[in-house]
Amino acid sequence: MTVHIAPEAVELLLIRLPLVEPFETSFGRTDVREILLVRVLQDGCEGWGECVTDHAPLYSSECNGTARYVMETFLIPALFGGPLRRVSDWPRRVAFVKGHPMAKAALEMALWDLYGQMVGRSLRDLWGGTKDLVPAGVSVGIHPDVPSLLRTVERYRAEGYQRVKLKIKPGRDHEVLAAVRRAFPDALLTADANAAYRWPRDRAVLVSMDAYRLQMLEQPFPPDDWLGHARLQRALQTPICLDESVTSLATLRLALRLRAGQVINIKPGRVGGYTVARRIHDVCRRRGVPVWCGGMLETGIGRAANVALASLPGFVLPNDLSASRRYWVEDIVEPPFELQPGGYLAVPTGPGLGVRVVRTRLPVQWSQTYRRDGEIRK
Ligand code: NPQ
Ligand code: MG
């Protein structure tokens, strides 16, 4: 008997979760995450999803407000439009909505969890994951001064993270990279600019970063600056990793054809969900392009799905997957993610996401339930 996906209700919940410490990137500083969660219900089973948008469109063009609007006006009605034979049919079902990949991905995550619960299989199992443990890296925000940054890096290295990613921006780059490399000569280091540099203005500043022996330099230029990335890569020994630029299979192929980068950061939210993320993984694996799983300051919900994705064989580099306590005083799932010896996270083996959402821990700001038979309940 085949199980069709046809939820009778969808609940959206907006929560406010304070970070353990503020996180600063080239686009801004966050101390509280405002997170839109999705819960789908069918035949006594539930599935949870997490939307990786923030309160404002700083990382990309989406934010919590656009995601909520698009979900309630277009995506949830499309889900109620008829059963899905497979969760992987979701991208085609919602292809009529242009853009809004994070909103689509959040609903897809909930559908994967629901489906896993209904058939009693883990996401790792459903997706063909091959690992029990995935290598954990940590992303370190821009700090007010170098000594405090060095203390933070020291702490994470002592905890066992396999690599440290340093957030940089123009004017806060060489000083930071030189100090960390000097203090940790053998550390696996990367740097992420979140698109803060410009080609050709910043050519010299970036080319001289080869001196720090970074494993990669992530997204120096804006997402659509394909030629800038390609030209920089020709002048730079350090591999460029693309994050914001890779939004689809088509942009992945463009990146590889132009040699705009040698490494791909896969974030399911950025590419419209786990089905597309897996296809991007498959193409990269066939072509020998190393990938790793990016992070968006997820709770244990999104983290569980990302850990399952990172268990696929092409994820060969340390991921932006850290322990729950890196971000949260108390995660909203049980059990929380903990760093394992050697710097790994364990891939959940239970059905679906393999973690339980603790509803009493959700600091709910707003919620609404949408029903297949039409009624909306506050
Ligand atoms: C990146 N993440 O790789 C992102 C960017 C990022 C872990 O470095 C709120 C919501 C704050 C989303 C900060 C990491 C964020 C965010 C950074 C995404 O580029
Ligand atoms: Mg990035």
Quick check: 24 pLDDT over 60?
A: yes
Give catalytic status of residue 131 as yes or no: no
The per-residue pLDDT for range 62-91, each reduced to its tens digit, is 999 999 999 999 999 999 999 999 999 999
CA-nearest residue for atom 18, ligand 1, is: 296
pLDDT at 377: 56
Give residue 338's pLDDT. Answer: 98
Q: How far does the centroid of ligand 1 lie from the alpha carbon of residue 7, in Å?
A: 31
- Rounded to whole angstroms, the Cα distance separating 11 from 42 reads 12
Ligand 1 close to Cβ of residue 26 (< 6 A): no
Closest C-alpha residue for ligand 1 atom 8: 139
Share of the chain above pLDDT 70, in %: 99
Q: Is 169 a catalytic residue?
A: no
Pocket lining: 297 vs ligand 1, CB cutoff 6 Å: yes
Give 2 Cα–ligand 1 centroid separation in angstroms: 38
Judge whether residue 116 has pLDDT over 80.
yes
Average per-residue pLDDT for the chain: 97
Of the chain, the percentage scoring pLDDT greater than 90 comes to 98
Query: What does the alpha-carbon distance between residue 165 and residue 153 come to, in Å, rounded to a whole number?
Result: 9
Alpha carbon separation from 79 to 52, 71, 82, 173 (Å, rounded) = 20, 10, 7, 45
Q: Of residues 165, 167, 169, 378, which has the active-site annotation? A: 167
Query: Is the minimum distance from the CB of 190 to ligand 1 under 6 angstroms?
Result: no
Residue 340 banded pLDDT, cuts 50, 70, 90: very high
Cα atoms found within 13 Å of the Cα of residue 54, Cβ hemisphere only: 17
Band of residue 374 on the pLDDT scale cut at 50, 70, 90: confident
- Is the shortest distance between the CB of 292 and ligand 1 below 6 Å? no
Give the mean model confidence (pLDDT) for residues 47-52: 99
Q: How confident is the model at residue 1 (pLDDT cuts 50, 70, 90)?
A: low
Q: For residue 331, what are its two tokens? A: 């995660």
pTM here is 0.97
Q: What is the pLDDT of residues 143-168, one digit of tens each?
A: 999 999 999 999 999 999 999 999 99
* Active-site position among 104, 165, 169, 267: 267
Render pLDDT for 242-281 as a digit per residue (tens, 0 to 9): 999 999 999 999 999 999 999 999 999 999 999 999 999 9
Residue nearest to atom 5 of ligand 1 (CA): 296
Residue 366 alpha carbon to ligand 2 centre in Å: 29
Please report the DSSP string for 14-50 in residue order: EEEEEEEEEEEETTEEEEEEEEEEEEEEETTEEEEEE
**378 confidence band (pLDDT: 50, 70, 90):** low
Q: Is the CB of 194 under 6 A from ligand 1?
A: yes
From residue 72, give the alpha-carbon distance in Å to each of 98, 273, 375. 15, 18, 13
Helix (H) or strand (E) holding 166: strand 163-167
Q: How far is the CA of 42 from the centre of ligand 2 (A)?
A: 35
**What would the pLDDT profile of 173-222 be if each residue is shown by its tens digit?**
999 999 999 999 999 999 999 999 999 999 999 999 999 999 999 999 99
Q: Is 244 in the pocket of ligand 1 (CB under 6 A)?
A: no
What value does the mean pLDDT take over residues 9-37?
97
Ligand 1, atom 16: closest residue by C-alpha: 296
Could you tell me if 77 and 7 are in contact, meaning their C-beta atoms sit under 8 angstroms apart?
no
pLDDT band at 375 (very low <50, low <70, confident <90, very high): low
Q: What pLDDT does residue 376 have?
A: 62
Atom of ligand 1 nearest to the CA of 194: 19
